Structure 1
Amino acid sequence: MFETLEDVRRDCANRLIRAAKDRKVPMHTPAVVTSDVDARTMVLREFDAEAWTLRFHTDTRAPKVAAIEADPRMAVLFYDKGAKVQIRVRGTGRILRDDPVTQAAWEKGTNFAKRCYLGKGPGAVSQVPTSGLPAAFEGVEPSDEDLHPAWDNFAVLLVELEALDWFYLAHTGHVRAQFEREGGEWKGRWVSP
């Protein structure tokens, strides 16, 4: 199935492309780890196979934004139980606020999704269970005009990949490969699982 390192690298790219496009695949919601050793599940919005970047959306008020801006080292863990494939990546994160990439991402989103950025910031304390949304938008799609204040809270997290670790679980014996980015090229090697 995976006879060459190029087969593996291509498999990584194809899985990440599909993960960004298909919300039903397990790799659509990977675990994202910041340098402060905090992890969270995020939705993969895009994988650019040319630049080898991952795109996520975030709230500018989220603690992870400050952590990334202080130390941009990041890791992302993807796992597909059915395929028995795990992909771990390391890279450098950047928070894009008022940027063409951010603007394009904002414009592609639905108003229902954008309403998340109208509420109180992530981690805001409450005395009762809360979505953090203003009461007027609980279960309600806001208008374009209602969303103007939300734009200031929206950002893109772009992760430029620098290392890949691909792990295939097989009953005949697990297989593992690692890749490091050197300049614009990926250098791979087989390693023991």
Structure 2
Amino acid sequence: MLGAPFLNGLTGPANAPMARLMFDDLDEVRSDLARRLTRAAKDRRSPMHVPAVVTSDVDARTMVLRAFDPQEWTLRFHTDTRAPKVDAIKADPRMAVLFYDKGAKIQIRVRGTGEVLEQDALTDAAWANSANFARRCYLGDGPGAVSDAPTSGLPTQFEGVEPTEEEVAPGRPNFAVLRITLDALDWFYLAHTGHVRAQFVRNGEDWEGRWVSP
């Protein structure tokens, strides 16, 4: 997997001295990567909270990162079962996700295998823990539905209105969890003194890392 090409790294000056973020140990880099993904899932103010998610049909979209499991190395997102990306993932589960923290000058790219979970305990829990205001999105037209005028796709009665538990219940069949199991990681630090890059590939329960030229 490490042999596959990644996007070219971004360039630009770093505001902080290199010593503040530079690591000389691959295990430290992987730990830093895990910490950043953990924070991205928990803190909506994190610059990595809404990454770009890429499917095998060469399409990309920004999505909210809902959870990161540092033990299993999985990412969790929410999606609509009617979204075109669901069919793309089912046809070819290869996926990539791009994170960038402008302040820290760190870019993280990951690759893995996606799966759409519709009727299971994890999805039930994710639905139960979502606010009704968010769940109302699954009541309207499916993503990509054509309209003659600008539209939110929501039923008129729920425009700007939070529905009740009973009112959002019909949206549950349209709700799913997208889980991506990671198998390749790319950590890139942009520094005016010289960029630094590390890559990791999953080997069973372990990760094999190496330094690479930016």
What is the TM-score when the length of structure 2 is the normalising length?
A: 0.89
Higher relative contact order, structure no. (Cα contacts within 8 Å, ≥ 6 residues apart): 2
**Offset at residue 20 of structure 1 (A):** 0.3
Residue 3 of structure 1 aligns with which residue? Answer: 24
Look up the equivalent residue of 2:149 and give its one-letter code. Answer: V
1:187 paired to 2:199: no
- 1:72-151 equivalence runs, <5 A: 72-151=93-172
Residue 156 of structure 1 aligns with which residue? Answer: 177
Q: Distance in 1 between matches of 2:115 and 2:54?
A: 14
Residue 166 of structure 1 aligns with which residue? Answer: 187
Residue 44 of structure 1 aligns with which residue? Answer: 65
Aligned residue pair count: 193
Q: Distance in 2 between matches of 1:169 and 1:78?
A: 14
Q: Distance in 2 between matches of 1:149 and 1:59?
A: 13
Q: Distance in 1 between matches of 2:184 and 2:129?
A: 29
Structure 1 residue corresponding to 2:43, chosen from 18, 22, 40: 22
Residue 12 of structure 1 aligns with which residue? Answer: 33
Q: Helix, strand or coil for the counterpart of 2:48?
A: helix
**Offset at residue 2 of structure 1 (A):** 1.0
1:12-40 Cα offsets, whole Å, 9 max, x none, are 10000000001111100000000000000
**Offset at residue 3 of structure 1 (A):** 1.7
Unaligned runs of 5+ in 1: none
Look up the equivalent residue of 1:11 and give its one-letter code. Answer: D
Q: Distance in 2 between matches of 1:63 and 1:83?
A: 34
Q: Distance in 2 between matches of 1:17 and 1:27?
A: 10
Look up the equivalent residue of 2:91 and give its one-letter code. Answer: A
Q: Helix, strand or coil for the counterpart of 1:109?
A: coil
Look up the equivalent residue of 2:125 and give its one-letter code. Answer: A
RMSD: 0.5
Percent of aligned positions with the same letter in both sequences?
73
**Offset at residue 147 of structure 1 (A):** 1.1
Q: Helix, strand or coil for the counterpart of 1:146?
A: helix
Look up the equivalent residue of 1:56 and give its one-letter code. Answer: F
Q: Distance in 1 between matches of 2:154 and 2:111?
A: 33
- Segments ≥4 residues shifted beyond 6 Å: none
Residue 3 of structure 2 aligns with which residue? Answer: none
Q: Distance in 1 between matches of 2:135 and 2:129?
A: 10
